Amino acid sequence: MEQQEKNYVEIFEQKLEGKDYDSLKNMLEAMHPADIAETLKDIAPIDSLKVFLLISDPQISGLVLSHLGIMEAGVERDILEHLTEEKIATIISAIESDEAADILNIFPEKKRAAILSLAESEVQVEVEELLQYPEDTAGGLMDHEYLAVNQGKTIKETINIVRQEILPQEARIYSYINIFVVDDKGYLVGYLALRDLLIKHYKKTLKEVMIKEIISVQPEIDQEEVSRIFIKYDLVTLPVVDKENRMVGRITVDDVIDVIQEEATEDIYRMVGTDDEELWQKSVFKVAGIRLPWLLTTLMGTLCSALILMSFRLTLDKVLMLVFFIPAITAMGGNIGIQSSTIVVRGLATGHIELNEVWSVLFRELRVGLIMGVACGSIVGVVAYIVGNNPLLGLIVGSSMFFAILVAAMMGCLTPITFKKLNIDPAISSGPFVTTANDITGLLIYLGLATSLIKYLI
Amino acid sequence: MEQQEKNYVEIFEQKLEGKDYDSLKNMLEAMHPADIAETLKDIAPIDSLKVFLLISDPQISGLVLSHLGIMEAGVERDILEHLTEEKIATIISAIESDEAADILNIFPEKKRAAILSLAESEVQVEVEELLQYPEDTAGGLMDHEYLAVNQGKTIKETINIVRQEILPQEARIYSYINIFVVDDKGYLVGYLALRDLLIKHYKKTLKEVMIKEIISVQPEIDQEEVSRIFIKYDLVTLPVVDKENRMVGRITVDDVIDVIQEEATEDIYRMVGTDDEELWQKSVFKVAGIRLPWLLTTLMGTLCSALILMSFRLTLDKVLMLVFFIPAITAMGGNIGIQSSTIVVRGLATGHIELNEVWSVLFRELRVGLIMGVACGSIVGVVAYIVGNNPLLGLIVGSSMFFAILVAAMMGCLTPITFKKLNIDPAISSGPFVTTANDITGLLIYLGLATSLIKYLI
């Protein structure tokens, strides 16, 4: 696939240079919207816009935009800002309602309303409803392109409904996996696989043949919870219902996959003290602005470390050799702390660890820490003994590392759990907080021990 | 959902205590296999086995096992080790072939063959073929429960095939989304949405109505590439073909979601110097064994730092104040390095960064590093100036941090890219290598600068 993409970029550039627009237009018609999007991402911004305007089918234009939005919002924005409101209205009328809402979400309220007023009235109603929900909830993920049929209809009548429905290209796949069954009030009462329409008797009503055990969510549910439900029950679509069990939308697995990728990226970025927001930032100043708060936190931590070292200056002055092992103590504590906290953060995110299992995880990390503390502590202790030609120095360095590792394992576990209980994203605790805290405790243990034994050490 | 689960655990335990097996059995029949699995995970191992044996339908037993396998292999293993070979053979005959292969993969070769010889002959052939492929390739993900129909068949004939096919419960959903069309030699020539069977004329052949543009992969393709294709094209199923384009299997989106979660977890674990293998380890010694190689690498790095400090002992002895800022220099360099390397590692994994975009990423990280270096360097420089009452100390500390940050940003970028080019998983470079390398370069910059200016410093 890689090879293919590269070719597209070159071909696009050649055709643009040669002003060979007709043949480029033909080429676009044969391409998958995802491939068009990927190529637009890799060519010059001015060219992306030119190529985009050559796409004649508004549905394809819309799909290209939504693929771009998932890959890299920058290009999507660049293009959208150069389109007329009429053009955008035509595009959003041709695609799934959730994707239309995502595109509109880029604009400020006023422009959004202006565009919507130009769209088809059905689209207006649907998209406006979707825009009410925060993007990271079930409501923000759902669309309106599902088939909900009254339970009184027969199989034959339902087949006719399926035959008449015209839906945007991508919505189709999901719409015809499950048909949702509702009662007269619109309450969700069951579902039916499309295959059942082929198998069941023509005259049976949906009520007679539907499956009544149906998993659904309410629109307020967080998208992380939605993805957990999809993973747990191996779903392809999930109906969204209001408090009274009236069907209001449907979530499809393709959007959930994007959520899973995004949430993992967000966690990974936050663990090292930044945010996946920086993916959308072109300005390096804004990127630095996202990272700086966490770096400054770390910087404050290291200045605390400096303060601790200063307060132990008499000890250090007497036994300069103690200085040599400072990086060893802090780095090992930091590493173990990050391991434990990362395991807890990821475990909480995937549901592998639940809050009530905290103690067993802590206990496990402590036992692992014990083993690693003994291993690393003995090695560094022996090295210190040999280098300093002083057994007590070896003992101090080795046992400090042992304790620093134990404390780090414990803090690495407890910090994300505490954050989670305080309803703060545990991912942000993993990097800056845990490493800084472990640097400080490591130094305190090491220099405290050395100072208390200083008279034997000199 | 959370609440519900907890109740199941309690109810299960009560019924087991009261030896109320019949009512437990009835309860199991009404439960979703995913819920059964989640409950088995949370009760005592001896109880999980008891409950598992109460499940009478082998298909449900199989689904419970495969849900357990995804959640926590420990429980799956415990149960499987207590089942007879006959029982396992019955179970794997009742579920999708890829899940049967996953279950068999737990056993050593000999036992695997023994179990397979007891299974249905069709299952034997299919599962043996799947077992040939490594678990992390398209071949390891695919199953055989797809519908491939000859292009000469009419719509009416195809409907009859659909009516006759009996497939395991979960396979059904995916089997009836797309029907794959093959020619007389079994070559994949197109596909058809199930809905088309309802819409197209009865007498048309598949060849006349099928969609010919079809995305497929070969069985050797890595699972990460498979997941990228699913994400890019919003797929629900993907056909797997051999070199001659003969259809050999099909991958479904539920398995791909598991891959996406697993790959993210694996990357996250490797970034901090461990491996997601530890999720399956009950023994803390084995967990320590997985982490120790990386920790020992870091330990060696810190001993290099000790060596560097020793070689600068004259400088440190003369200006002890230099020691105070060692943690600041190393910690900030380490943090920035991990940020850059994490962004590159994740970018490479999600396809957000491609290898040919290396220079633009490096350039961006350097510019971000420049800003952060100026900010952090000036703060720490001013602090050092005030604390030491020595402007030159401030200058040395500040500019060392600035350069350490720049170098760290660069190394953080280049290390994972180099690993990737050497075909080593870049994730393992992020933690141990980058931090250790940055500690060393940070110290060299700092103490080298201080030593060269030592006569002005005293």
Report residue B127 CA to chain centroid gap: 24
Question: Phi and psi of A190, rounded to 5°?
Answer: 175, -175
Tell me how far apart the alpha carbons of residues A39 and A15 are, in angstroms, rounded to a whole number: 14
DSSP B222: B
Tell me the β-bridge partners of A211: A191
What's the mean pLDDT in A57-68? 89
Coil/strand/helix, residue B136 = coil
Residues of A in contact with B230 (CB under 8 A): 257
Q: Which of A257, A370, A387 to mutate to test the interface with B (most CBs of B within 10 A)?
A: A257
Please give the structure tokens belonging to residue A184: 């007269």
* Last residue in a domain, options A252, A285, A318: A252
* Last residue in a domain, options A83, A98, A133: A133
Residues B90-127 as b/e (b if ≥16 CB within 10 A, e otherwise) read: bbbbbbbbbbbbbbbebbeeeebeebbebbeeebbebb
Q: Is residue B260 part of a domain?
A: no
| A254 interfacial to chain B (CB closer than 8 Å) | yes
Q: Is residue A187 part of a domain?
A: yes
Give the angle subtended at the CA of A99 by the CAs of A110 and A95, to the nearest 5°: 105
Name residues 262-321 of chain A within 8 A of B (Cβ).
264-265, 267-269, 271-274, 278-279, 284-285, 287-288, 291-292, 294-296, 298-299, 301-303, 305-306, 309-310, 313, 316-317, 320
Please give the structure tokens belonging to residue A335: 């590493």
Q: Is residue B314 part of a domain?
A: yes
The band of A168, judged by pLDDT with boundaries at 50, 70 and 90, is: low
Tell me how far apart the alpha carbons of residues B273 and A84 are, in angstroms, rounded to a whole number: 51
CATH of the domain at B245: 3.10.580.10
* 8 Å CB contact of B306 and A328: yes
Tell me how far apart the alpha carbons of residues B16 and A244 are, in angstroms, rounded to a whole number: 36
Q: What is the pLDDT of residue B230?
A: 92
Each residue's pLDDT tens digit, B138-150: 999 998 888 899 9
Q: Is residue B231 part of a domain?
A: yes
Coil/strand/helix, residue A190 = strand
Q: What is the pLDDT of residue A353?
A: 82
The DSSP annotation for A45-70 comes to HHHHHHHHHH---HHHHHHHHHHHHH
Q: Are residues B109 and B164 in the same domain?
A: no
The band of A455, judged by pLDDT with boundaries at 50, 70 and 90, is: confident
Residues of A in contact with B235 (CB under 8 A): 254
Please give the structure tokens belonging to residue B54: 């109460």
Domain limits at B204? 148-254
Among A215, A285, A339, the residue with its CB nearest the CB of B291 is A339
The band of A3, judged by pLDDT with boundaries at 50, 70 and 90, is: very low
What residues of chain B score a pLDDT lower than 50?
A: 1-3
Contact A191, A250 (CB under 8 A): no
Q: Are residues B154 and B113 in the same domain?
A: no
* Pairwise pLDDT comparison (A173 vs A412), residue with the higher score: A412
Report the candidate in A124, A96, A142, A99 with the shortest Cα–Cα distance to residue A241. A142
Tell me how far apart the alpha carbons of residues A455 and A451 are, in angstroms, rounded to a whole number: 8
CATH of the domain at B292: 1.10.357.20
Q: Are residues B126 and B203 in the same domain?
A: no
* 8 Å CB contact of B260 and A257: yes
Each residue's pLDDT tens digit, A328-339: 998 898 889 988
Q: What is the pLDDT of residue B168?
A: 53
Residues of A in contact with B334 (CB under 8 A): 331, 334, 435
Q: Are residues B358 and B381 in the same domain?
A: yes
Please report, for residues A152, A156, A165, B100, B239, the alpha-carbon distance to residue A161 in angstroms, rounded to integers and kept in the order given.
13, 9, 6, 39, 30
Q: Are residues B371 and B347 in the same domain?
A: yes
CA distance B178 to chain A (A): 9
Average pLDDT along chain A: 87
Query: Would you call A285 exposed, middle or buried from its count of C-beta atoms within 10 A (0-12, 13-18, 19+)?
Result: exposed
* 8 Å CB contact of A285 and B371: yes
B351, closest residue in chain A (CA to CA): A71
Contact A78, A45 (CB under 8 A): yes
Contact A362, A410 (CB under 8 A): yes
Q: Are residues B410 and B382 in the same domain?
A: yes
* 8 Å CB contact of B265 and A198: no
Tell me how far apart the alpha carbons of residues B372 and B307 are, in angstroms, rounded to a whole number: 29
Q: Are residues A85 and A234 in the same domain?
A: no
Among A306, A324, A364, the residue with its CB nearest the CB of B325 is A306
Among B229, B291, B336, the residue with its CB nearest the CB of A372 is B291
Contact A322, A400 (CB under 8 A): no
Q: Is residue B264 part of a domain?
A: no
> How many helices and strands in chain A, by DSSP H and E?
26, 5
Tell me how far apart the alpha carbons of residues B367 and B125 are, in angstroms, rounded to a whole number: 58
What's the mean pLDDT in A402-419? 93
Contact A282, B255 (CB under 8 A): no
The band of A72, judged by pLDDT with boundaries at 50, 70 and 90, is: low
Please report, for residues B295, B339, B412, B430, the alpha-carbon distance to residue B435 in angstroms, rounded to integers and kept in the order given.
12, 10, 9, 8
ipTM of this complex prediction, to 2 decimal places: 0.82
Residue A377's region, left for phi above 0, alpha for psi from -120 to 50, else beta, is alpha
Each residue's pLDDT tens digit, A108-143: 889 989 999 998 888 888 888 888 898 889 999 998
Please give the structure tokens belonging to residue A336: 């173990």
Name residues 136-155 of chain B within 8 A of A (Cβ).
none
Q: pTM higher than 0.90, yes or no?
A: no
What's the mean pLDDT in A242-254? 92
Q: Are residues B449 and B331 in the same domain?
A: yes
CA distance A285 to chain B (A): 7
Residues of A in contact with B231 (CB under 8 A): 257-258, 261
State the count of interchain CB pairs (< 8 A) between A and B.
307
Contact A288, B372 (CB under 8 A): yes
Tell me how far apart the alpha carbons of residues A397 and A401 are, in angstroms, rounded to a whole number: 6
| B355 interfacial to chain A (CB closer than 8 Å) | no
Q: Are residues B295 and B444 in the same domain?
A: yes
| B420 interfacial to chain A (CB closer than 8 Å) | no
Instruction: Sheet with A148-150: list strands edge to edge.
Output: A148-150, A178-182, A188-193
Please report, for residues A95, A119, A160, A235, A373, the alpha-carbon distance to residue A168 in angstroms, rounded to integers and kept in the order given.
5, 15, 18, 21, 60
Q: Are residues B174 and B250 in the same domain?
A: yes
Tell me how far apart the alpha carbons of residues A196 and A33 are, in angstroms, rounded to a whole number: 32
Tell me the β-bridge partners of B154: B205
Percent of chain A with pLDDT over 90: 37
Residue A164's CB is within 10 A of a number of other CB atoms, namely 8
- Please give the tally of structural domains in chain A: 3
Tell me how far apart the alpha carbons of residues A140 and A220 are, in angstroms, rounded to a whole number: 9
CATH of the domain at A37: 1.25.60.10
Among B172, B350, B367, the residue with its CB nearest the CB of A265 is B350
Q: Which residues have a Cβ under 8 Å from the Cβ of B18 and sit 6 or more positions away? A: none
Each residue's pLDDT tens digit, A77-102: 889 989 999 999 999 888 888 888 88
* Last residue in a domain, options B219, B254, B289: B254
Report residue A111 CA to chain centroid gap: 28
Q: Are residues B288 and B393 in the same domain?
A: yes
What's the mean pLDDT in A156-176? 70
What kind and span of H or E run contains B335?
helix B326-350
Q: What is the pLDDT of residue B240?
A: 95
Name residues 5-44 of chain B within 8 A of A (Cβ).
32, 34, 38
Percent of chain A with pLDDT over 70: 95
Q: Are residues B287 and B394 in the same domain?
A: yes
The DSSP annotation for A71-123 comes to H-HHHHHHHHHTS-HHHHHHHHHHS-HHHHHHHHTTS-HHHHHHHHHHS-HHH
Tell me how far apart the alpha carbons of residues A301 and A432 are, in angstroms, rounded to a whole number: 9
Tell me how far apart the alpha carbons of residues B280 and B70 are, in angstroms, rounded to a whole number: 11
Q: Is residue A362 part of a domain?
A: yes
Q: Which of B192, B201, B295, B443 to mutate to test the interface with A (most CBs of A within 10 A)?
A: B295
Name residues 194-253 of chain B within 8 A of A (Cβ).
194-195, 197-199, 213, 225, 229-236, 253
What's the mean pLDDT in A189-201? 86
CA distance B61 to chain A (A): 15
Q: Is residue B330 part of a domain?
A: yes
Q: Is residue A339 part of a domain?
A: yes
The band of A292, judged by pLDDT with boundaries at 50, 70 and 90, is: confident
Longest dimension (CA), chain A: 98
Report the candidate in B103, B99, B96, B238 with the shortest Cα–Cα distance to residue B167. B96
Report the candidate in B236, B251, B367 with the shortest Cα–Cα distance to residue A253. B236
Q: What is the pLDDT of residue A176?
A: 65
What kind and span of H or E run contains B188?
strand B188-193
